[in-house]
């Protein structure tokens, strides 16, 4: 098997990672699309029932979201490191630990979802914990996304206007995390808005990936 350059793997990760994660995010049982049902906010018992009754889809999407997020993180790491000795590196490197915290938290939340769907965990308290982890990860991803957008705005890989829109989406995600923390009963609406922000961010990530591949 021939070798493949780090730039190519990073480019593919930035393209495929968010696509996989985003599609599976929307397909999760009880999620944005309401597959299997749409539980009321904070109705963790109903959420658990939906996950158990749609366990196959829940387990598969949780694994694939993890795959997509870690792939995205890998691509983001390369992109930030490629800024070294150039514009944006000082700001971009600040984003790295925030992205790590966000992805790590979402991986833990997915693990709770898998254990719930497979009926290993049977306490609704774990779903409440998962919700709190998701909120914290949302906050961290928003901060990281903003710093990366600020760094990318000093460079020429992607149209600056698109980068500014991605930065605004990151700010919205940041704000949503606070709203979710102080008004958890609005979590369903916030999840839909976050989904739209992630669509914008995914498009931006894909464009960065294409720019890296074209070099």
Share of the chain above pLDDT 70, in %: 99
pLDDT the model gives residue 2? 59
Instruction: Summarize pLDDT for 102-126 with one digit per residue, the tens.
Output: 999 999 999 999 999 998 888 889 8
DSSP 160: H
Q: What is the pLDDT of residues 18-36, one digit of tens each?
A: 999 999 999 999 888 888 8
Compute the distance between CA of residue 179 and CA of residue 188 in angstroms, rounded to an integer.
12
Q: Are 105 and 134 in contact (CB under 8 A)?
A: yes
Give residue-wise pLDDT tens across range 141-180: 999 999 999 999 999 889 999 999 999 999 999 999 999 8
DSSP track, 2-58 = ----HHHHHHHHHHHHHHHHHHHHHHSTTSTT-TT--PPTT-HHHHHHHHHHTHHHH
Domain positions in the chain are 7-208
Give the span between the Cα atoms of 127 and 43, in whole angstroms.
Answer: 10
User: What residue has token string 């495929």?
Assistant: 16
| DSSP state for residue 185 in the 8-state scheme | G
pLDDT above 90: residue 188 = no
């Amino acid at each position: 098997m021939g070798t493949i350059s780090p730039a190519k793997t990073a480019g593919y990760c930035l393209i495929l990672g968010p696509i996989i994660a985003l599609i599976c995010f929307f397909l999760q049982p009880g999620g944005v699309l309401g597959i299997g049902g749409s539980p009321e906010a904070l109705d963790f018992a109903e959420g658990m029932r939906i996950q158990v009754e749609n366990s196959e889809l829940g387990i598969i999407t949780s694994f694939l979201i993890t795959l997509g997020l870690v792939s995205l993180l890998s691509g983001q790491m390369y992109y930030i490191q490629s800024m070294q000795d150039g514009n944006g590196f000082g700001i971009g490197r600040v984003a790295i630990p925030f992205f790590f915290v966000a992805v790590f938290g979402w991986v833990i939340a997915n693990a709770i979802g898998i254990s719930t769907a497979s009926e290993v965990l049977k306490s609704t308290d774990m779903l409440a914990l998962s919700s709190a982890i998701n909120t914290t990860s949302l906050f961290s991803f928003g901060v990281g996304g903003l710093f990366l957008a600020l760094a990318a705005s000093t460079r020429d890989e992607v149209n600056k206007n698109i980068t500014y829109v991605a930065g605004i989406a990151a700010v919205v995600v940041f704000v949503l995390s606070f709203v979710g923390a102080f008004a958890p009963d609005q979590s369903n609406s916030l999840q839909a808005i976050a989904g739209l922000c992630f669509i914008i961010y995914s498009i931006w990530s894909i464009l960065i990936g294409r720019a890296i591949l074209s070099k």
